[in-house]
Homo-oligomer: A and B are copies of this chain.
């Protein structure tokens, strides 16, 4: 499964137009033959910390989804940015 298949499968559940400002981060890791520990869960907090340097993010406005399917791990962060 590629990242595109993943995104297509989720398209139906995503509202086409959202008025609020939002930020979406997707990290997809397609592994080759070698095995490797999945580092995406550990990575997500660091990614949020980096983003937070640039835009204000409340922790409760971050939705995290992590999926493992075959050789592809996908971390998806959906952040609704607060009104200023």
Collect the chain B residues with CB atoms within 8 Å of residue A21's CB.
Answer: 29-32, 34, 36
User: A-side binding surface: helix, strand, loop or mixed?
Assistant: mixed
Q: Are B25 and A26 in contact (CB under 8 A)?
A: yes
A4-B11, A39-B55, A43-B54 as given contacts; A24 in contact with B28, CB under 8 Å: yes
A19 cross-chain contacts in B, Cβ below 8 A: 32
- A64 adjacent to chain B (CB < 8 Å): no
- Chain A contributes a number of interface residues (CB within 8 A of B) equal to 36
- Chain B residue at minimum C-beta to C-beta distance from A50: B46
Convert A45-68 into 0s and 1s, putting 1 for each residue whose CB lies closer than 8 angstroms to a CB of B: 011001101110000000000000
Contact of A3 with B30 at beta-carbon distance under 8 Å, contacts A39-B55, A54-B39 already known: no
